[in-house]
Structure 1
C-alpha cells in the first residue's frame, strides 16, 4: 500500500503563531512553498478555500506552471459555482497540469463564512447538496453523451463536457466527521479525509466508513488523516518546541488582534463548535493532553479560541514516523500535514520524517510478502 504526504499550498505564511504581515495572496510565496514541498519529498499540496481568500483553482494553476510533478488538491465549495462550470474548471486544470488535480469538495464548517457568500443552508443540507454536486462532476468528467439531471439543488438539460481531460479524470475528495459526511464520502469520494484523533476513535470511524461503502457496493475511499506535526531531532527538543508554540498561540489569542479571515473567526465563548469535527476535537482536548504514542491536544484551540481541526503529533523524527505508521496499520494512505512555520517545517518534515515512514511501509510490505512465500504461510495485509 503506498503512502503519500499532503502539504500546504498556501498564499501566505501566516499561521496560529505567525501573524499576517503581507498580502493574503502572495503569488511568489505560493510558488515558493509549492516548490519546497516538491523538492523535499511531498506528494500533494492543498490550496484551501475561504470566502475572503484567493480562488484556489487559479492559485493551483499558477503553482502548476512553476512545478513539475507535485499533485494539486484544490478545495472547492459547491455553493460558489454551478457543477457544470466547476467540471470545466477542474478538467481544464487537470489537462494543463499533466493530470495532477484532485477536487476537494467542502460542505462548509463555519456558518459565517458560508453566509458571506450567500449560503444559508444548514450542515446536513450542505452535505446533501455536496453529494448531488459530486455526482454531477463525475458524470461530466466521464459521460460522452449529453445527459440531463433534475435534483433538489441542480438541473441540467442535455449537458456534455467535450473538453474532458484526456486519460484519467480529476480525482475527487471529501472529508468530515459526522455520519452524514461519512455517508457522502462513502458514496462519491475517491479519498476521504478525517481529522487526527486517537487510534481507537479513528479505527471506529474507519470501520463505519468501510461499512457504508460496502453497503453501497463501492470500495472504501482512500483514507487520509490530518495532523499538525511538531518534530525535532530528539523527543526533548520536540517537546520544548511544542510548548513554545503553545505559548505563542496563547500570546496571540490574548492580544485579541483582528481576525484575519472569516474562516478562522474566533468562537463565541461558551458556544459549542459548529461542526462535528471541531466538537469531537474539543471533547478530545477536554479528556486529556496526550494520547497514544505522540498525539497532543492543547493546540486544538487556535488563536482566538477556535478549534483548528487538527491535533499535533509531537516527538523526534522517529517517534512521529512511528506514530504515523500506527495509522498506516489502520489503512491510512495519505497524511495531510502542516506545521506552524509552513515553509521551514515542510522542509524539515520532508527531509527527516517522510523517509522513515516510507521505509516503515516498505518493511511492512516485505514482511507480508515473506510470510506469504513461506510454505503454508498466510499473508497478513494492512487494513485498507
Structure 2
C-alpha cells in the first residue's frame, strides 16, 4: 500500500541521510605507517576524471575507460567488516583507510598489469559497486573486502559513473547501463589473459544489473560464458526477479555458478522498488514464499543465501556481504575458490522448511538460510 511505501522511504532516508552528501576526496596520498596492511588493486572506470587529486574520478561519464593502480593502506587495529574513513585530509594511515600510491595505467599496458599481478595469483577478483557510490568509497570498500576475505586473487575494481547522491537513482541506472559494454570488454580481457586462470565477479546492488548484463553480452557473443568465469556473486542485487531470470536464460547452460546474497529486511531495496515502481527486487526475496522458490528452482547452479537474521546494528541491511564477518569468510573461503556454499559451511541446520524434489533443497540455518538449485555442468 502507498502509506507503507512512504513509511519505507522515511525509514530508509533517516538511516542514510549522511549518505546524501558524502565526504569525498578521500584518495589524497598519505604516507605509509607501521602496523598496517596494504592492498594493491587495479581500477577500471568509465567515470570522467576530475582535477581534485583526492577524488580522481567524479560522477560524470568519461570519454573512454581509464585504468589505474591504487595502493590502499588498512590499519590492523580495527574490526573486520569496517571501513575507517579519514576524518580529515590527508588521512592518518595509523587509524584510517588511506591511499599511499596511485599510478595511471595506459590501455595498452593493462595486459602487462594482469601479468604482473597474476604471476603468483592466477585468479582475478572483479568487483562492481552499487548505486550512490563515489569512486573513493568504492576503492575503500573493495580494499576492505579483499583484505578481510584474505582473497588470493588479483583485485580488479570496475567503477561506473555513480553520482554518489541519494536522489540520483535514475541517473545512476542510466550510467550503469551505459557502462555494460566496457565491463564486458574488461571481463573478456581478463578471460584472454594467459596470466589468469579463473575470474570471479562480485557485484553489489545496482552493480548486479550491470554485471549480469555484461556477462549476458559475453554469452550471446561467444555462445556461452567462457569456463574461466567460475563464479558470479550478486550481493543485495537491485534487479527485478523476472529480468534476472531472463538474463540467466539468455546466457544458456554454459554459465558460472551464481550465488545471491539477499535480506528480506533490506531497506535500500525496499526504497528502490518504490522509486522504480518495478517488481520485487532479487536481493529482497522471501524464500518462504513459493512464487520466489518456483522462479529460481529450475535454473541450475544458483545458490541463494538469506542474511536477514544477521544483526550488525545497521538499520539499512544493504551491505551485509561486506560488513558481516561470516559472509566475508564465506566469500574468501568458498566462493573465491569457485566452490558452492552448503549448509555445512554455515551454522548447523535448525529446521528443514521444504524440499523441492531432486531439483533443489531449501534449508533454514542459523543465522543464514540457503536455497540451492541443482548444479549444472559447463564445459
Q: TM-score, normalised by structure 2?
A: 0.35
Q: If each structure's helix is expressed as a fraction of its own residues, which one has the higher value?
A: 1
Task: Report which of the two structures shows the higher radius of gyration computed on alpha carbons.
Answer: 1
Q: TM-score, normalised by structure 1?
A: 0.35
Q: If each structure's strand is expressed as a fraction of its own residues, which one has the higher value?
A: 2
Larger RCO, structures 1/2 (Cα 8 Å, 6+ apart) = 1
